[in-house]
């Protein structure tokens, strides 16, 4: 994710990456060939000339010409890194999840308040075209009130991540993967008042599960499926069906056997029998990160509204995940 952000910042006018900090001497020398991930290009050699390179985080934070620290560390390091940056008077963009427990999220938010600096959380899902489309249609109000939704996000076991199944460092698929949908559910429906979860465990972590959420509005019905499967030829799948009074929104996308395709193209079904397929562009995920980081710049430089970057949404997503884990236990 650090590489994705780095490449994306290059595309945004008015922004300059002035420093990078890493414990890895190879990365500090520009050798990013070992980087892997679900999105974006593969790692390559990077020309870091003109960029200050640090092996000391506090050394980088002492630099006066840095306005914003972009934190793309493992989740267990987010709280300490965010609080230290805020204490140095820097704005912070922290990758999701904000942290691995609610108490740490609250500590980061309190540090931002004391420092009077912006705390933004990089939940990129609302910037993906299908999810941005869903938010726009729901918030338009033209199809009536929300009735409910189903959300799915399942991956093959990411064997290339050595600490993925560490509750202390990454938190497994609940905090790394499903937190996207927890954040989106919170954004659409508010905070659940009831959580029921069933599924399989791997040690103390959820492996593959189904959750049902109840809300203060008794008419709302929300369901989510997420986790890891042991089929490496289907490394990624996500989708939703969102129901309103007079329409439903549906899509599903998967990578299977090396091919990325819609299982169900984005579709709007209306109660009067219409079927519409919006034009959402080419679906390049890098464009979502570009939209996200442009929004970051607008918040910092133009006082734009936080929207999906709001740390309270990120904090509440962690509470939802914690409640799912407590429910199955």
Number of domains in the chain: 2
Question: Would you state the pLDDT for residue 61?
Answer: 98
Residue 306 lies in a domain: no
Lowest-confidence segment of 37-46, 184-193, 298-307 by average pLDDT: 37-46
Question: Would you state the pLDDT for residue 64?
Answer: 94
- Of the three residues 89, 107, 122, the one that is the final residue of a domain is 122
The CATH number assigned to the domain holding 6 equals 3.40.50.720
pLDDT band per the 50, 70, 90 thresholds, residue 36:
confident
Residue 317 lies in a domain: no
> What average pLDDT does the structure give for the chain?
96
* Contact assessment for residue 102 and residue 322, using Cβ atoms and an 8 Å cutoff: yes
Q: If DSSP states are collapsed to H, E and C, what string results for 10-34?
A: CCCCCCCCCEEECCCHHHHCCECCC
Domain residue limits at 141: 129-282
Interval 158-199: pLDDT, tens: 987 889 999 999 999 999 999 999 999 999 999 999 999 999
- Of the three residues 87, 122, 157, the one that is the final residue of a domain is 122
Residue 270 lies in a domain: yes
Residue 315 lies in a domain: no
Q: What letter does residue 251 receive in the DSSP assignment?
A: E
pLDDT at 104 over 80: yes
Phi/psi at 244 (nearest 5 deg)? Answer: -120, 175
Question: Would you state the pLDDT for residue 162?
Answer: 84
SS3 260: strand
Output 73-82 pairs: Cβ under 8 A, ≥24 positions apart. Answer: 74/163, 74/169, 74/170, 75/99, 75/100, 75/169, 75/170, 75/171, 75/175, 75/176, 76/100, 76/168, 76/169, 76/170, 78/104, 78/108, 79/104, 79/105, 79/107, 79/108, 81/57, 82/108, 82/111, 82/119
**Whether residues 218 and 241 fall in one domain:** yes
The CATH number assigned to the domain holding 238 equals 3.30.360.10
Instruction: Give the closest residue to 197 by CA, choosing from 189, 206, 187, 188.
Output: 206
The predicted model gives 279-307 an average pLDDT of 94
**Whether residues 118 and 221 fall in one domain:** no
**Whether residues 195 and 252 fall in one domain:** yes
Q: How far is CA 182 from CA 151, 212, 235, 286, 322, in A?
A: 9, 12, 20, 22, 11
**Whether residues 28 and 137 fall in one domain:** no
**Whether residues 171 and 139 fall in one domain:** yes
**Whether residues 40 and 110 fall in one domain:** yes
Question: Would you state the pLDDT for residue 47?
Answer: 95
pLDDT at 283 over 80: no
What is the C-alpha separation between 90 and 68, in angstroms, rounded?
6
Residue 297 lies in a domain: no
Instruction: Give the closest residue to 235 by CA, choosing from 211, 208, 202, 259.
Output: 259
The predicted model gives 135-164 an average pLDDT of 94
Lowest-confidence segment of 55-59, 90-94, 156-160 by average pLDDT: 156-160
Question: Would you state the pLDDT for residue 161?
Answer: 82
- Of the three residues 244, 261, 282, the one that is the final residue of a domain is 282
Residue 319 lies in a domain: no
pLDDT at 38 over 70: no
The predicted model gives 107-134 an average pLDDT of 98
Residue 36 lies in a domain: yes
**Whether residues 34 and 115 fall in one domain:** yes
**Whether residues 138 and 79 fall in one domain:** no
What is the C-alpha separation between 112 and 107, in angstroms, rounded?
9
**Whether residues 158 and 270 fall in one domain:** yes
* Contact assessment for residue 55 and residue 21, using Cβ atoms and an 8 Å cutoff: yes
What is the C-alpha separation between 244 and 29, in angstroms, rounded?
52
**Whether residues 276 and 147 fall in one domain:** yes
Kindly state the percentage of the chain with pLDDT values over 70: 100
pLDDT at 39 over 80: no
- Residue identified by tokens 């799915």 is 152
Q: How far is CA 64 from CA 52, 69, 85, in A?
A: 13, 12, 12
pLDDT at 277 over 70: yes
SS3 264: strand
**Whether residues 112 and 135 fall in one domain:** no
Residue 149 lies in a domain: yes
Interval 207-222: pLDDT, tens: 999 999 999 999 999 9
**Whether residues 278 and 133 fall in one domain:** yes
């Amino acid at each position: 994710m650090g590489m994705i952000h780095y490449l994306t910042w290059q595309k945004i006018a008015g922004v300059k990456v002035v420093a990078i900090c890493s414990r890895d001497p190879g990365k500090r020398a520009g050798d990013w060939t070992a980087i892997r991930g679900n999105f974006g290009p593969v790692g390559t050699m990077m020309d870091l000339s003109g960029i200050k390179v640090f092996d000391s985080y506090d050394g980088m934070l002492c630099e006066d010409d840095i306005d914003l620290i972009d934190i793309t560390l493992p989740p267990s390091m987010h709280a300490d890194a965010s609080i230290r940056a805020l204490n140095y008077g820097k704005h912070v963009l922290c990758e999701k999840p904000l942290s691995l427990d609610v108490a740490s999220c609250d500590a980061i938010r309190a540090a931002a308040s004391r420092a009077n600096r912006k705390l933004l959380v990089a939940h990129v899902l609302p910037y993906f075209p299908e999810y941005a489309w869903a938010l726009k249609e729901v918030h338009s109000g033209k199809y009536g009130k929300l009735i409910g939704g189903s959300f799915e996000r399942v991956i093959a076991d990411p064997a290339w991540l050595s600490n993925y199944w560490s509750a202390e460092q990454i938190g497994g698929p609940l905090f790394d993967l499903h937190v996207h949908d927890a954040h989106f559910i919170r954004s659409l429906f508010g905070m659940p008042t009831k959580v029921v979860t069933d599924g399989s465990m791997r040690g103390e972590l959820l492996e593959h599960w189904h959750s049902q959420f109840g809300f203060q509005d008794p008419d709302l019905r929300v369901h989510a499926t997420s986790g890891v499967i042991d089929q490496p030829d289907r490394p990624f799948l996500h989708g939703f069906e969102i129901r309103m009074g007079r329409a439903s929104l549906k899509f599903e996308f998967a990578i299977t056997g090396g091919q990325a395709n819609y299982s169900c193209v984005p579709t709007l079904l209306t109660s009067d029998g219409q079927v519409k397929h919006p034009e959402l562009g080419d679906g390049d995920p890098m464009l979502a990160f570009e939209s996200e980081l442009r929004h970051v710049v607008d918040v910092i430089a133009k006082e734009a509204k936080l929207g999906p970057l709001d740390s309270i949404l990120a904090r509440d997503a962690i509470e939802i995940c914690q409640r799912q884990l407590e429910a199955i236990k």
